[in-house]
Structure 1
């Protein structure tokens, strides 16, 4: 299982060493970051932060920056980095074997759609609260090394996947429903964590939403093939077995009472 972040000073040292290693390994990215930090602030979120405390190799790095998208784009154009911009204005930097995904804070979906209120005095909390799952709720200010990890710690301590924000509007506005469904199934399978009722209800609605527009198996198979990490653990048959179980839980009133026991125990019962 994953490690809880308890010793704050130890974690700061581990993260700083890992981030500095990325900067050392990729000089063009180092130069870009130094220029970025002159006029803005950068926050690393999610997996790279989580890998730092768990001593796992990172394949990529996700970052939110305080610059506007225009200023960020101009800064990248002045660098020697190879990058692309997707339709939602997320920027992917290709460092050759390692990728960096960067968002202007204004274009991060949680702030852009006002599903999380933004307050510069509590920006670390705001960014952490804007993460969808508690598993991903980690953020570090790369300049000050200050961080937030309470949501991630809850995931590890309780062994339960949950959606951080409870409002229906927040869930509806998240644009990556297929990826969210596969991520939940992967985490349940790989770590054996339970699925909180709030999260289970969301997954049931997502399955129905996908089914309204596509063949569910075909659609999820397309997304499964995009994630090598998931494919190493899950087959499309595994995914569909869990999809059917989620639908069963919500169709069966007695099963609903056992939501907090997770998929595995429910099947044994």
Structure 2
């Protein structure tokens, strides 16, 4: 059976700049894959059509930054680098500079940063990590989400709450999941603070996915369903 390292390397053969980026980072230290790329692999027993890929590197800071600057990257919302390759967007962070660690949302020793990566994400369906060097999966939270069919919050504090709300509705549709009481509360709090929430979420969706996945009406119905569901818990 092929390792995830071989699967991703073969996929990136069709995206040459991304392959150079991947191989360069791999040569400098360990790499961790997180979130959507791993869901794609689990869903399809392979990688078919990625929109983006998230990588975390433990490479030395100066070496990492010098290498990354050769790709003329953008800064992403979480303080990492974003590289646009033909047909693929690559987001990269240094392990030590993961948003949840630098902002002390999760406190642990640096030696445990890799271990606690699944706890740095907003949604449980994103809490899946693959350690490339050691061929190890860190996926307990993700596996429980799949088993239970409940989409839940892992780390609530996040600089991209609205985007994550959009993503939760997209993932809910894709996997037919229920929303947890905590996730419903986060959504209701966002709507309370944002009177034009439906339009804002719709616009964020278009910015993220470059297409309409959920119509304005569907988003409005989802928010109404969340409200009714949340108050049914009380």
Tell whether the structures are fold-level matches, with TM greater than 0.5: yes
Aligned-partner Cα distance in 1 for 2:67–2:96:
16
- The aligned runs of 1:15-164 (5 Å cut-off) are 15-55=4-44, 56-67=48-59, 71-78=63-70, 81-86=71-76, 88-164=78-154
2:207 to 202, 218, 226: 226
Relative to total residues, which structure has the larger helix share, 1 or 2?
1
**TM-score (normalizing by structure 2):** 0.86
User: What do the CA deviations read for 1:211-255 (whole angstroms, capped 9, x no partner)?
Assistant: 3xxx222212211212338723x11111011112323344x4xx1
Shift of 1:45: 0.4
For the pair 1:185 / 2:169, whether they are aligned, the reply is yes
Change in Cα spacing, 1:28 to 1:223, as seen in structure 2 (3 Å) is closer
Question: In structure 2, the residue corresponding to 1:164 is in which secondary structure?
Answer: coil
SS in 1 for 2:108: coil
Q: 1:210 aligns with which of 178, 181, 194?
A: 194
Mapped to 1, the partners of 2:18 and 2:164 lie a distance apart of 30
**TM-score where L is the length of structure 1:** 0.76
Unaligned runs of 5+ in 2: none
1:35 and 1:162 map into 2 onto residues whose CA distance is 35
Matched residue, 2:233: 256
**Aligned partners of 1:230, 1:178: CA distance in 2, in Å?**
17
- Could you say what the CA RMSD is over the residues aligned between the two structures, in angstroms? 2.4
Structure 1 residue runs of 5 or longer lacking an equivalent are 1-9, 166-170, 258-269
